[in-house]
Amino acid sequence: MAIFGAASKHRWKLLRNAPAVIALTAFSGLASGPATVEAASPETRVSLPVEIAGEAGTVVSVTAHVPSGLAREARSFWLQIHGLEYAGIASVRINQSPWWSLSNETATVAEPGRSYGGIGGGFATLKVTLPLPQNSLVDGPNNIQFRFNFTDGVASGFRVLAFNFLNSGGRRILSPDSFVEENPNLWASPFGDTLNVAAAHDLWTHAPLRANSLPGAGAIHAHCSDCHAADGADLKYFNFSNASIVARSRFHGLTELQGLQIASYIRSLATPNPGRPWNPPYQPGPGADGSAGAGLAWALDNDIDTLSYLSIDKGPAAFRPDSNLDPREIPIAMQLPDWNHWLPRVHPLDFREGSFRGSEFDRLYEGLNSGSDMAAFPGRWSKSRRVFLAPHLTTGSDKWTAELAEDFYSAQLWQLVKTWEIAQKYEPGIGINPIPAATAPAEVGIPNGPKGMGRSALTNEYFNNAWYELQIIVNGTNHRHRGRSAIDWAYFAGHIRDLQALSNKPEAGRTLVMVIKAMQSTDPKLGPENYAKGWRPERNIDPRILVSGQWAPVFQTVPANVKRLITEELLSAWLDKTLQYPGASYFGPGTQASRYRLPVALREISGGRVWEASSQFQAAGVRPALLDRLDAWGKGYTALSELFHY
């Protein structure tokens, strides 16, 4: 069945321009072995991804050809799926088997996605495995059906990025050349005439929409251009297919013809298109391509693998505060939010209509093209959002409801999407801004738990971490931190530990990237006298994090000898930098410009009093000569603090 019901074959050819995934890299984590299967012919290859989008009950079928003699070996069905937003959203059927509805109970979700909630959790793309009853497959062609079961009022489908059948040893039965990836650059525009494209631009900016496709869904004030980039560039940049654009248009109350016109408009844009809907924006890894990121293939299966990219075998140089580790090039095991999770579910117009239009939050964005001061803009705009959302609700407030949290979070997401839009036009003029970190639910006080994002503490905390991580990535290697902006390092570290406590998934690698970037955040040309921009040991994360008992669970996956090496190198780099400056330069007029006090729970890892953990460093195996330097620094600092009454 075509994804829009009784569509003609001609219409389906217009809609079937779905984006693709690199099939050869999509089998990460599967057992490999010598090629023992016959090559597939071009006529029998499966085009990936398989995109299932539209009304509830939409079914899309593909035919997979199993080499002769191998069908009887199949024991399980492995899939990589983008968009498993909730249990039961998708079902799978092979030949004449019953339908299998996908949930955390019916499918085995691979790590690390499982630890972040699995189906319905934080990660937008998951690898899942289903057991296959005996004789499910036959040699030769096998019909595989994927069904979009129902919408929750937000989702309108999902994508199968890769699949295979596995034998009892976990080896794949279908060879890589059984699949072909679709090339977005070959997609055709449904309508090539300027009349339809012009009509689509008007639809994009002015067409009345409804909230969703559920019965009784009401009209909304926002238009397509309000929640996306104003010109629709995001849909072109991330290669949303004609089919997905039409499905989403119909989801919001437009006709199929109007959806086809909008798809034609998007295809006509001159915007570069390096992204994919499932590739998280800014996902770090070697060769990361701007906001398109390095691709889903660089979201690691194991956090500990991040260490191999940190050059810890090169001694203290790996941690030196004056160096420039580029976090955009360091892969991590956290899958960042995909573009769908950047987009707001509720536009500010639709929960505070009367106060949004004309507010500074709105006016600053609208006035960008009239000569705004780009350097000052991000800070002013971020402040205007706080004013718009006032009164501020603190964590645990009885005023919070799940609906109110969604409204507040959507306002943050709207600002993030528009920041991406602005950056495409004005970079590098827009420079460093605090808006990625300001998108974290915690920044407006949304509490973990049933009132938070995903209505779970785990998912809410995942989004806190994801947006703080994004801030580190977009800051890059600039040494342009200002006081506690754009990141309060100790506060971010606390959220890493909070996530670990909820997921039980240690992230030593990601934590070390954060520690290194905290140490490298200040201007290497400025010393402690410059409180806002210079080296202030108490303002970032210090080496005690590696010997703190409270932080031991985060580093439990690091082998003892490797952890000792890292601890020693980090402490050595910290001391070398700290001892560059006379002790008295850490005191004096202006050095107490802030009255900020760290929360008690974070004083073990920040604040600069590293010598107080000398015994823990000794127990960790740090060499005596280095401890002697640390103790001498501590004694001198303590004496000076008494002299200056610090």
Q: What angle do CA 52, 285, 20 make, to 5 degrees?
A: 25
* Per-chain mean pLDDT for the chain: 88
* Span 5-27, average pLDDT: 31
- Tell me the per-residue pLDDT of 181-211, one tens digit each, with 9 for 90 and over: 999 999 999 998 888 888 899 999 999 999 9
**In a 10 Å sphere around its CB, with 0-12 CB exposed, 13-18 middle and 19+ buried, how is residue 329 labelled?**
middle
- C-beta of residue 409 within 8 angstroms of C-beta of residue 446: yes
DSSP assigned state of 213: S
Query: DSSP 3-state assignment of 333?
Result: coil
CB within 8 A of 253, min separation 6: which ones? 208, 209, 210, 213, 217, 219
- C-beta of residue 528 within 8 angstroms of C-beta of residue 536: yes
Residue 455, both tokens: 């209505």
Query: What order do you get walking across the sheet with 108-109 strand by strand?
Result: 50-53, 157-166, 76-82, 125-131, 108-109
Say whether pLDDT at 8 is over 60. Answer: no
Bridge partners (DSSP) of residue 50 are 160
* Span 64-69, average pLDDT: 96
d(CA 133, CA 372): 64
List the one residue out of 203, 182, 230 whose CA is nearest residue 414. Answer: 230
d(CA 38, CA 70): 10
DSSP assigned state of 48: E
Look up the CATH architecture of domain 20-181.
Answer: Sandwich (2.60)
Q: Where are the domains of the chain?
A: 20-181, 194-268
Other C-beta atoms lying within 10 Å of the C-beta of residue 31: 11
Q: Which residue has the higher pLDDT, 640 or 394?
A: 640
- Tell me the per-residue pLDDT of 381-432, one tens digit each, with 9 for 90 and over: 888 998 898 855 565 667 889 999 999 999 999 999 999 998 888 765 445 6
Residue 565 pLDDT class (50, 70, 90 cuts)? very high
* Span 126-136, average pLDDT: 95
d(CA 486, CA 464): 15
Say whether pLDDT at 53 is over 70. Answer: yes
Residue 245, both tokens: 């654009």
What pLDDT sits at residue 346?
A: 95
Say whether pLDDT at 43 is over 90. Answer: no
Which of 134-143, 162-171, 172-181, 530-539 has the lowest average pLDDT? 530-539
Strands 219-220 and 59-66: unpaired
* Span 53-69, average pLDDT: 97
- Tell me the per-residue pLDDT of 231-276, one tens digit each, with 9 for 90 and over: 999 999 999 999 999 999 999 999 999 999 999 999 999 999 999 9
Taking the CA atoms of 430, 532, 603 and 442 in sequence, report the sign of the dihedral they define: negative
